Amino acid sequence: MKKSHALYIGGEWRDSLSKETLETRNPANQELLAEVPRGKAEDMEVAVTTARKTFESLEWQEFPVEVRGRILYDIAAKLRRDAEEIAQMETLDTGKPISQGRNDVEASARYFEYYAGMADKIFGETIPVRHDILDYTVREPVGVTAHIIPWNYPLQITSRSTAAAIATGNTVVVKPAEDTPLTALKLAELFAETELPKGVFNVVTGYGYEAGAALINHPEVNHITFTGSVQTGMAVMEAAAKNIVPVTLELGGKSPNIVFEDCDMDNTADWVVKSVVQNAGQTCSAGSRLLVQKTVKEEFLQKVKERMLAVTLGKGVDDPDLGPVLSEKQYERIEKFMQTAREEGAQFVCGGERVSVEGCKDGYYFAPTIIDNVRVDSEVAQEEIFGPVLSVFTFEDEEEAVKLGNNTQYGLVTGVWTENIGRAHRLAKRIRAGQVFINNYGAGGGVQMPFGGYKKSGFGREKGLEALRNYTVLKNVAVKM
């Protein structure tokens, strides 16, 4: 792995203007992986100005849409060509198990492949007005799009939004998380190998309060895509409002698995555990709440406990079930919630503490945790912990299950586990979440499936055809015949 990196602006690799750098470390043991430029406002000014100039250029305005699509197909092929290298890079940078890193690379390739196929299929429509007027609509690119990327799925989330933005004819500026910037820069390397006009894809690394703030406040940005916390999402909205810029926000979640007595308990228990330990629970859509029907609570909870205790921990490159949490800061956040649970008298069924992994004394590994008897109004029940922590609640009937399921400020994902198809559809209708999975959870993360939330989980939708709306603006044309 390269030890030093550069910004990618206008098809060129360059140092930050300040020449300052920041470090990225391996969460498994905190070893230094690489240094990347500490981009600041002046670097972001160059990037956005370059993206604007490229967007307005005749070269890009007249660039054939079918060639645009072929380039995105080419990126998908290059991701698969370098899949193992990129997966290793993602694993070392984020700490996640290598099998999950490999899945992330394949998912990223699928995003480029999927939106490549849509590049020449952005349709308008004709509208009947009167006999002497031809009225029609066209969807045009919004312009320069800003992409603020979180640290938990850096490659996937960079790919899903930039692929859609470029497919629809925009130019993009990416600000990856300062903790996990490496695969966004690798993606820039892949774009540099293509015939894409220079300045369409740009990457500026740096801190959120410097580079990120400069990007979301820049008057030449026409759309902001942000994935991250509610608090930062509010700041993004405030900045966007000043420039009257639309935003797509994919924020936090406190997603429940609702388990009825008639479910396939062994299969359901498998999925409940997978949904909360994937990426060490550092997933906005993690199934962090277990709502189980009282009649089967003890039996089902025992199955979940057995599976949680069997989870293996270790370095991501060794492909355990569970890798480390990202950093000391993330560990301290989890520990704060554990202390709250203890003070409130909650019962720890298993876990609840940091664990040691041989050869990784500086890594922050947290035991898979189940907490029962949690107050429904507790921070533990209401707030995103972002760790491998499952809170347990019980319900008597459908009505109580729906009430509990909707009883947070979030509404991102819900799993419903039952053999009663009528019940499943009734809950799917009443649950306030952007995705409802019945007898599965995540559906393999399908790129075709619109993803986003209700309430404070954000608005707008990523993935699928719906995401194309984020990056286009509708124009109506009326012709007097």
Q: Which residues are catalytic?
A: 250
**For residue 439, how many C-alpha atoms fall within 13 Å in the half-sphere facing its CB?**
12
Distance CA 232, CA 209 (A): 10
Coarse DSSP helix, strand, coil percentages of the chain, rounded to the nearest 5 percent: 40, 25, 35
Q: Residue 332, exposed/middle/buried by CB under 10 A (0-12, 13-18, 19+)?
A: exposed
Amino acid identity of residue 316, one-letter, is G
Distance CA 418, CA 39 (A): 50
**DSSP codes, 409-421:** SEESEEEEE-S-H
464: left (phi over 0), alpha (psi -120 to 50) or beta: left
Distance CA 458, CA 411 (A): 9
- Coil, helix or strand at residue 428: helix
C-alpha triplet 172, 443, 178: angle, nearest 5°: 35
Distance CA 281, CA 127 (A): 48
Distance CA 65, CA 369 (A): 50
Distance CA 252, CA 231 (A): 10
How does strand 365-366 pair with strand 354-355? antiparallel
Distance CA 33, CA 15 (A): 18
Distance CA 226, CA 146 (A): 8
Distance CA 108, CA 256 (A): 26
Amino acid identity of residue 456, one-letter, is K
Q: Cβ atoms within 10 A of the Cβ of 42, count?
A: 13
Contact 283, 157 (CB under 8 A): no
98-116 vs 154-167: helix crossing angle, rounded to 10: 0
Distance CA 214, CA 146 (A): 11
Find, among 165, 194, 416, 156, the residue nearest to 279 by Cα: 156
Give the position of tokens 């989890």: 334
